[in-house]
Chains A and B, each alone.
Chain A
Amino acid sequence: MERALAASDLARWGFMATLSSVSQLTSHPLPPVGPDDHVRGEGPEAIVYLDLACPRCALAWTRIRRLPLRLALRHFPIGSKHPRAPALHAAAEAAGLQGEAAFWGLVDSIYRDQGRIDDPHLWERAESLGLDLERFNRERRSELVVERVRRDFESGVRAGVAGTPAAFIAGQAVGEEISEGLRALTLR
């Protein structure tokens, strides 16, 4: 028997239609850090676009995570190159819904150990961060989370991000190796 349309179906289709009709990726200045951003630390402000499955990002992360910076981390998953990237970013975002500390905890955890990134490993990591696992699992697949990740990705594309890791200081792309560029910022 044909299933009646559920409100959730309509919401999803409406959402998808919105995504495709407003998907406008022409150049646009980098959005400044806002209340929606994940921000950690104190010091000069920088924005990084990272892919949680990118080995070069993991290496950069070991160098920049302890720098005295006010660091905003934005999602830039490149799913074709790193098939697990979308799932990892959705997981980090879902963790963040249970507290900002959980977002950063999961990011640190994923970058510490890039060899264990399948779903059971994510559940282990979420448990060790004290998250409500059922909620984490539900929310990491939610449209809200997918859309939030996509929003960051698109803001990066529009600002000219063409690979990861990428960093911006005062709206300007850091051209050099980003951990060096960010370290130099802390020494100014």
Chain B
Amino acid sequence: MIAAGTRAPDFSLPSHQGKQVSLADFRGRKVVLVFYPLDFSPVCADQLSVYQEVLPQIEEQGADLVGISVDSSWAHRAFREKLGITIPLLSDFEPKGAVIRSYGAYLDEVGHANRSLVLVDPDGVVSWVHESPTPLEIPGANLIFDALSLVD
């Protein structure tokens, strides 16, 4: 997993809308990257639903939050509609998982991301990371707020 204090690898990935989104787009704001295994799996659904409930408070802290998985833009679109979430989802589909790998969050044995959170500061530097011991373990939103409270 990428270490805090290092420069966050830049990326440009298609969103659920098919528009390219780059890390540089968030420069000047904090951004929480939520790497998660797969759209439509029950545990992922819980995680993003709970984050959605506290999204206004995350934004109040001057931060954006985006989800990243190996699913396609089309799957992301359907997943967002099913969950009723507004969190942008980015597709690390081709080459599969390349961005997730660059953050050290890819699980080769299963072919998707481990459940990981990365907070990137307004200058593009990784200021905090959290990697779940297993993909089944969901990091609570409290951890995001703990991290945000430590970054200006």
Contact = CB atoms under 8 A, between A and B. Distances in A.
B45 interface: yes
Contacts of B84: 80-81, 83
A162 B83 contact: no
Interface residues of B, number: 24
Interface residues of A, number: 21
Interface string B124-152: 00000000000000111111011001000
Contacts of B56: 20
Interface in A69-83: 78-81, 83
A147 B143 CA distance: 23
A163 interface: yes
Contacts of A162: 46-47, 50, 138-141
A79 B138 contact: no
B108 interface: no
B85 interface: yes
Nearest to B149: A26
B110 to A, nearest CB: 21
A163 B142 contact: no
B54 A81 contact: no
Contacts of B146: 26-27
Interface of B is mostly: helix
Interface string A40-72: 000000000000000000000000000000000
B53 A79 contact: yes
Contact of A163 (B46, B54, B143, B145): B46
A157 B60 contact: no
Contacts of A164: 46
A157 B140 contact: yes
A110 interface: no
A80 B53 contact: yes
A162 B48 CA distance: 9
Interface string A120-163: 00000000000000000000000000000000010001111111
A80 B83 CA distance: 6
B131 to A, nearest CB: 15
B57 interface: yes
B88 to A, nearest CB: 14
A159 B57 contact: no
B141 A25 contact: yes
Contacts of A159: 140, 142
Interface of B: 43, 45-47, 49-50, 52-54, 56-57, 60, 83-85, 138-143, 145-146, 149
13 contacts: A25-B57, A25-B145, A27-B143, A27-B145, A78-B50, A79-B53, A80-B53, A80-B85, A160-B140, A161-B140, A162-B50, A163-B43, A163-B138
